[in-house]
């Protein structure tokens, strides 16, 4: 699982026009197992290079991703972040494999009212968990909630850095690259450098920081 996270995290870094997520050896889609679980942990970010760089996904990896979406459909009473994570994966599948996506999900967004009255601390935590939703030009109720509270997300980013919660800081930083109205005094670029320096040994932190830089510059990092 860790090897797969590292591969995904590093794929956007080179910016090669044919960069793909490196699969951890041959995968028997029918057998499921740890690979499907690893993809589920990464969520929509399992195919992030294809989404951000516009490169066709590897057919085998797309098949594993599709199987994960099909195998881990959440119950109606699942936690909101679980519902949104699944929705984000289904959205990615609709983008990259429309024929198969039609039978997977109807595209209806889960509820997002729980974010309306969330404190800035809770908001930042939830957004960090749902960082795969932070994509340029992609609208969702979660993205709109984030856009409505850029100062709160910035406060949460600073708090996460001070608490050395590098995963939360990296996820919040990714969102901040897309938000309008972020305080100029935040020093987001330097903050992301620091998060990478201190927490970049964690593949998930590395993934979010590299994605944030790509979103911020519009070019491979």
DSSP 33-81: SHHHHHHHHHGGGGGHHHHHH-PPPPHHHHHHHHHHHHHTPPPTTS-HH
Q: Which of 3-17, 27-41, 82-96, 206-220 has the lowest mean pLDDT?
A: 3-17
Question: Which pLDDT band, with edges at 50, 70 and 90, does 24 fall under?
Answer: very low
pLDDT value of residue 108: 85
Alpha-carbon distances, residue 72 vs 33, 75, 104 (angstroms): 12, 9, 11
| 156: exposed, middle or buried (Cβ count in 10 Å: 0-12, 13-18, 19+) | buried
pLDDT value of residue 105: 60
Q: Which of 6-20, 29-43, 99-113, 183-197 has the lowest mean pLDDT?
A: 6-20
Residues counted in the chain: 221
pTM of this structure: 0.83
Above 50 in pLDDT, residue 20? Answer: no
Backbone angles phi, psi at 206, to 5 degrees: -60, -45
* Residue 95, both tokens: 């983008």
The C-alpha atoms of residue 23 and residue 60 are separated, in whole angstroms, by: 8
182: nearest Cα among 146, 209, 141 = 146
Above 50 in pLDDT, residue 215? Answer: yes
DSSP code at position 181: S
Gyration radius from the chain CA atoms: 17
Above 70 in pLDDT, residue 4? Answer: no
Backbone angles phi, psi at 126, to 5 degrees: -65, -40
Q: Which of 3-7, 60-64, 68-72, 170-174 has the lowest mean pLDDT?
A: 3-7
pLDDT value of residue 193: 96
What is the mean pLDDT of the segment spanning 64-81?
A: 89
Above 80 in pLDDT, residue 120? Answer: yes
pLDDT value of residue 220: 43
pLDDT value of residue 218: 62
The C-alpha atoms of residue 134 and residue 139 are separated, in whole angstroms, by: 9
Is the separation of the CB atoms in 127 and 91 below 8 Å? no
Chain-centroid distance, C-alpha 211: 8
pLDDT value of residue 202: 95
């Amino acid at each position: 699982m860790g090897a797969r996270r590292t591969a995904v995290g590093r794929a956007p870094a080179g910016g090669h026009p044919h960069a793909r997520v490196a699969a951890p050896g041959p995968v028997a889609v029918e057998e499921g197992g740890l690979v499907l679980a690893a993809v589920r942990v990464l969520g929509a970010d399992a195919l992030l290079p294809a989404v951000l760089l516009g490169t066709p996904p590897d057919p085998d990896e797309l098949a594993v991703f599709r199987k994960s979406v099909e195998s881990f459909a959440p119950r109606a009473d699942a936690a909101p972040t679980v519902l949104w994570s699944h929705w984000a994966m289904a959205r990615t599948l609709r983008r990259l494999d429309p024929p198969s996506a039609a039978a997977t999900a109807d595209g209806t967004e889960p509820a997002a009212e729980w974010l309306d009255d969330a404190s800035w601390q809770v908001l930042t935590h939830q957004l960090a968990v749902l960082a795969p939703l932070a994509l340029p030009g992609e609208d969702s109720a979660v993205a709109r909630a984030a856009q409505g509270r850029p100062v709160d997300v910035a406060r949460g980013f600073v708090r996460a850095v001070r608490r050395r919660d590098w995963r939360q800081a990296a996820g919040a930083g990714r969102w901040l690259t897309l938000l309008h109205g972020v305080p100029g005094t935040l020093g987001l670029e330097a903050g992301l450098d620091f998060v990478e320096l201190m927490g970049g040994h964690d593949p998930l932190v590395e993934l979010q920081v590299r994605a944030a830089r790509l979103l911020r510059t519009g070019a491979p990092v």
